[in-house]
Amino acid sequence: MSETETRAAVPAPRAEEKPLLKVEGLVKHFPLKKGLLQRQVGAVKAVDGIDFEVRRGETLGVVGESGCGKSTMGRLITRLLEPSGGRIEFDGQDITHLSTAGMRPLRRDVQMIFQDPYGSLNPRHTIGTIVSAPFKLQGVEPEGGVKKEVQRLLELVGLSPEHYNRYPHEFSGGQRQRIGIARALALKPRMVVADEPVSALDVSIQAQVVNLMDDLQDELGLTYVIIAHDLSVVRHVSDRIAVMYLGKIVELADRDALYEAPMHPYTKALLSAVPIPDPRRRGAKSERILLKGDVPSPIAPPSGCRFHTRCWKATEVCRTTEPPLAELKPGQQVACHHPENFEDQQPQDVVLLAAAKEAGELVPDEVLAQSAETSAAVAAAEAAAEDTTGTSGTGETEVAEATEVAKETEVAKETGDK
């Protein structure tokens, strides 16, 4: 039959294909040292045993508040950091402890885009030098020469080939992030890990950059891991979403399932904070949950379920026993004793912990809408201020990122205090 013939010519669906990235029991503890002898007195448990896969061609969104270990996870899977434990497999190859030399061929396949388009581009280098650096580092000579290829890449990300001889300070935040994307794509990577790629940008250009990444994915057959602290950023581009809290994955599900019926109370709280753009829902009466307080320290995370100090459903079992990440619905993994949108697993355990009664706050929609407007206005004002002052970048991503983290923590504190 002709229909079967045509079908045979098209590659079969590759759902059962092996994942591009497979992570098992991944751990990163940063040692805390003290005194003259620099004795280790403890550890920051930034990533504390996570398992997940990234499928070929998909976008995996990773969300959670600041300090939950998202960036550390990103740096582990791109092997910018050495894991303390667990296993990372890229395209079937164990890369957990590959040396720098061993990682070299892989550096082409796995690229990272950073949060801060100001700090991650060296201000003393031209755009041409910046985007051609990966070719030099890898000793690759593209067909037609480096300059031509760099100009092609600039066009690909919506910039002009004439920008080749210009300097980073001549560009806006959104344009700089496009330059960062061009650099990441130079060596035709297979996987791109983007760590809060639009968090530092004006709200009005965030969508443009995310959409550019989405278009490039289709065009170049990329696989993405996109990290964000805000669910609204990853909503439209993710196929699946992993929610992280204090070094753990607490929920991992298909995007639609996660948005329509979140099962982990933390996911529900994060979603509550996202203003709903759907006009049909705007008038509807609903109350949402506002998380109180800060993420506890990863040096001594809470016992049992790490979220129990902030969860409005926490009971005794939550304090004593850590819930495993389990597939409660097809494709939806959750780590919780009392999941939402599911019949309770621990019906005998109904007495709320004293702290639970104060943990979450139900807030009417109108109040949230107001605060969303305010925070959007604040973000826009901050971005405008940065546009005028942000030209003195050090070129050191680490420093810039540390400032970002500090800023984020301040913002989180302010929101928590309200």
Ligand X SMILES: Nc1ncnc2c1ncn2[C@@H]1O[C@H](COP(=O)(O)OP(=O)(O)O)[C@@H](O)[C@H]1O
What residue ranges bind ligand SF4 (CB under 6 A)?
Answer: 264-265, 305, 307-308, 311, 313-314, 318, 323, 336-338
3-state secondary structure the chain: CHHHHHHHHCCCCCCCCCCCEEEEEEEEEEEEEECCCCEEEEEEEEEEEEEEEECCCCEEEEECCCCCCHHHHHHHHCCCCCCCEEEEEECCEECCCCCHHHHHHHHHHEEEECCCCCCCCCCCCCHHHHHHHHHHHHCCCCCCCHHHHHHHHHHHCCCCHHHHHCCHHHCCHHHHHHHHHHHHHCCCCCEEEEECCCCCCCHHHHHHHHHHHHHHHHHHCCEEEEEECCHHHHHCCCCEEEEEECCEEEEEEEHHHHHHCCCCHHHHHHHHCCCCCCHHHHCCCCEEEEECCCCCCCCCCCCCCCCCCCCCCCEHHHHHCCCCCEEEECCEEECCCCCCCCCCCCCCCCCECCCHHHHEEEEEHHHHHHHHHHHHHHHHHHHHHHHHHCCCCCCCHHHHHHHHHHHHHHHHHHHHHC
Segment interacting with Mg ion, rule: CB under 5 A, options 71-79, 147-155, 180-188, 383-391: 71-79
Q: Which is nearer to Mg ion, 71 or 232 (CB)?
A: 71
30 scored as a contact of ligand X (CB under 6 A): yes
Smallest gap from Cβ 31 to Mg ion, in A, equals 20
Interface of this chain with ligand X, residues 289 to 318, rule: CB under 6 A? 298
72 scored as a contact of ligand X (CB under 6 A): yes
Smallest gap from Cβ 196 to ligand X, in A, equals 8
Smallest gap from Cβ 50 to ligand SF4, in A, equals 16
Smallest gap from Cβ 399 to ligand X, in A, equals 12
Q: Which residues contact 170 (CB under 8 A, 6 or more apart)?
A: none
64 scored as a contact of ligand X (CB under 6 A): yes
46 scored as a contact of ligand X (CB under 6 A): yes
216 scored as a contact of ligand X (CB under 6 A): no
With CB under 5 to 8 Å by kind, the binding choice for 171 among ligand X, Mg ion, ligand SF4, none is none
Smallest gap from Cβ 32 to ligand X, in A, equals 8
Q: Which is nearer to ligand X, 65 or 149 (CB)?
A: 65
Q: Residue from 21, 48, 54, 69 that binds ligand X (CB under 6 A)?
A: 69
Q: Which is nearer to ligand X, 61 or 134 (CB)?
A: 61
CB distance 394 to 400 below 8 Å = yes
Q: Residue from 44, 131, 212, 289 that binds ligand X (CB under 6 A)?
A: 44
With CB under 5 to 8 Å by kind, the binding choice for 30 among ligand X, ligand SF4, Mg ion, none is ligand X
Q: Which is nearer to ligand SF4, 275 or 302 (CB)?
A: 302
Q: Which is nearer to Mg ion, 149 or 404 (CB)?
A: 404
Smallest gap from Cβ 60 to ligand SF4, in A, equals 22
Q: Which is nearer to ligand X, 151 or 232 (CB)?
A: 232
Q: Residue from 21, 65, 68, 71 that binds Mg ion (CB under 5 A)?
A: 71
Residues that bind ligand X (CB under 6 A): 30, 44, 46, 64, 66-72, 298, 405
Residues that bind Mg ion (CB under 5 A): 71
